[in-house]
Amino acid sequence: MIALIAVRQQIHADNAALAQLFEEMQRHYQVPCPSLGTILSDLASLPSGVEILVAETDRIIGFAIFATIYPGPSLKAGIFLKELFVSQAFRGTGAGRLLMRELARMALQRGHKRLDWTADRENNRLLAFYDDIGGTVQREKLFYRLSGEALAAFADEG
C-alpha cells in the first residue's frame, strides 16, 4: 500500500533528497550527471524565479521545477514547467498528477492564464499522462535549442 502523498514547495532541507532524485532522473534519461556536490551547490543557489514543488510520502518521491514567464495570453504571466519527475518506484501512484494539480492551482492563485511544458515525443506513457490531465498538444509551436558549440559560436559573432 502506498502512503499518502503530499505536495508542497521545496525548502532548503529538501536539497539532499532532491539531489538523489536528480541523479535518478539523469540515469533515467541516460545523460551525464554532475557530481553530488555540484547538484547541491546548484540547488542552494537557484536562479531567481525558479521554484520547485516536491511530492512526498515519508520521503521526497518526485518534483516539479517551474518558472513564471511573461508575456502570455492578454499579456498576462504564465508558468512554464521545466521538469516533472517521479521516482521509478512511485510512478502510477498519482504523484505526478498531484504535482501538476498543485502547479495549476498556483497558476490560478497567482492570476496566470496558462501552464506550458514540453514532452518527449517518444514517451507514450508520458504523453498519455499529459493527455489524461487535459493538456493539449500545440502543433503550431516548435521547440528550439541553442547549446554547446553553436551557442558559443553565435555569442561570438561580431
Most confident of 51-55, 121-125, 131-135: 51-55
The total of structural domains in the chain comes to: 1
Cβ atoms of residues 52 and 65 within 8 Å: yes
The mean predicted confidence, pLDDT, of the chain is 93
pLDDT digits (tens, 9 = 90+) for 14-40: 999 999 999 999 999 999 999 999 999
Would residue 49 count as lying in a domain?
yes
- The CATH number of whichever domain residue 109 belongs to comes to 3.40.630.30
Mean pLDDT over 94-122 rounds to 94
User: Is the model's pLDDT at 5 over the cut of 90?
Assistant: yes
Domain housing 126: 6-156
pLDDT digits (tens, 9 = 90+) for 136-154: 999 988 888 899 999 999 9
User: Is the model's pLDDT at 74 over the cut of 90?
Assistant: no
Would residue 151 count as lying in a domain?
yes
End-to-end CA distance of the chain: 61
pLDDT reported for residue 54: 98
pTM of the model: 0.91
- Local structure of residue 53 (DSSP, 8 states): E
Q: Between residues 141 and 83, which one has the greater pLDDT?
A: 83
The model's confidence at residue 76, banded by pLDDT at 50, 70 and 90, is confident
Instruction: Give the residue carrying C-alpha cell 499529459.
Output: 130
Would residue 1 count as lying in a domain?
no
pLDDT reported for residue 144: 87
The model's confidence at residue 110, banded by pLDDT at 50, 70 and 90, is very high
Closest CA to 51 of 109, 5, 103, 97: 103
Give the whole-angstrom CA distance, residue 22 versus residue 36: 9
